[in-house]
Amino acid sequence: MTQLPVIQPPTRPRLPEWLRVQLPAGRAQAVFNTTDGAVHGNALHTVCEEARCPNVHECWSQGTATFMVAGQSCTRGCRFCSVETLKTPPPPDADEPRRLAEAVAGLALEHVVITVVNRDDLPDGGARHYRACVDAIHEQLPATSIELLSSDLEGNAEALATLLDGAPLDVFAHNVECVPRLDSTVRDPRASFALSLHILRQAKALRPDVATKSSLMVGLGETDDEVLDALRQMRAAGVELLTIGQYLAPGRPGTRFVPVERYVEPATFEAWQREALAMGFRGVAAGPLVRSSYKAAELLAAART
């Protein structure tokens, strides 16, 4: 009998040294445990865990976390994201805003980032629930600055107005995710660079007093020129705060996730940061491990100077 060859499963390329992370120890570990307790003790979700953020140990050991509201499942299936996809997730938990406010109070946060799952199954795209979470935090902690990383609400202008009108927000964020050419490869068909820019423009028009923010992933097959062009388009749409980070596939090669095409060197991120500041962005964080909410309070402080 002929022996069939053994086929090994595909493996990920070895990560460069600059993508290695350090685990917390000593006092940092104690703070990490406190953050973990505040999150799970209030039955909350975080994008840190759901999206497998590489900075979870660094941020949680400093007492910061990015909370994810409106459920644990998203109605979209972007090929870069590890959050579960469901066509019709359970309804948002009406008690979540209260628990969220209590967790933020328990951590004594001076700045909090709330991110959301897409809720295309709801008539308002989840806008009322997102707003309830923002209001609950402000009511309990009026001195805490609030950043909301919102969905595109399917471009629903009425829903966006419901979310933003009079909201106690300091930053409205929405991510373009990738350069325009890669939309069809990376993002859910309902999402696009153009729609994301539209939401960011509308948000700025509705609330010129609120800083707007977006994030771009690299390493997906884009060129350096496409990155700079995307930054120019974001700036032209009024985006003031920007993060740029390396895409890291959350699953093994051969899964539904887009593979990493390149690992961008730190020097290139530094060059993009200089270019973005020269374009007029007021706060920029760019680096291999930078994510949407990384150093969020520092970027807000930069926007206020």
- For every one of its 305 residues, what pLDDT tens digit does the chain have, with 9 covering 90 and above? 455 554 444 455 567 776 665 544 444 344 444 445 544 454 454 444 444 445 444 444 444 567 889 998 999 999 998 889 999 999 999 999 999 999 899 888 889 999 999 999 999 999 999 999 999 999 999 999 999 999 999 999 999 999 999 999 999 999 999 999 999 999 999 999 999 999 999 999 999 999 999 999 999 999 999 999 999 999 999 999 999 999 998 766 567 899 999 999 999 999 999 999 999 999 999 999 998 888 888 999 988 88
Per the CB < 8 A criterion, the answer to whether 246 and 218 are in contact is yes
3-state secondary structure 261-280: CCCCCHHHHHHHHHHHHHHC
pTM (whole model) above 0.85: no
CA angle 31, 33, 37 (to 5 degrees): 115
Assigned domain for 113 exists: yes
In this structure, how many other beta carbons lie within 10 angstroms of the beta carbon of residue 13? 10
CA torsion 68-138-101-30 (nearest 10°) is 80
The contacts found for 38-46 with CB under 8 angstroms, 24 or more apart, are: 38/65, 38/103, 38/106, 38/107, 39/65, 39/67, 39/103, 41/103, 41/106, 42/99, 42/100, 42/102, 42/103, 42/106, 43/99, 44/68, 44/96, 44/99, 44/100, 44/103, 45/69, 45/71, 45/72
Q: What is the pLDDT of residue 19?
A: 67
Assigned domain for 194 exists: yes
Assigned domain for 99 exists: yes
Assigned domain for 18 exists: no
Q: Structurally, how many domains does the chain consist of?
A: 1
Assigned domain for 10 exists: no
Distances (CA, A) of 139 to 77, 102, 146, 182: 34, 11, 12, 41
Q: Which domain holds residue 122?
A: 25-304
The CATH number for 58's domain is 3.20.20.70
Assigned domain for 69 exists: yes
Give the separation between CA 28 and CA 7, rounded to whole angstroms.
Answer: 43
Assigned domain for 2 exists: no
Per the CB < 8 A criterion, the answer to whether 102 and 91 are in contact is no
Assigned domain for 148 exists: yes
CB within 8 A of 199, min separation 6: which ones? Answer: 150, 152, 153, 155, 160, 174
Q: What is the pLDDT of residue 305?
A: 82
In this structure, how many other beta carbons lie within 10 angstroms of the beta carbon of residue 133? 25
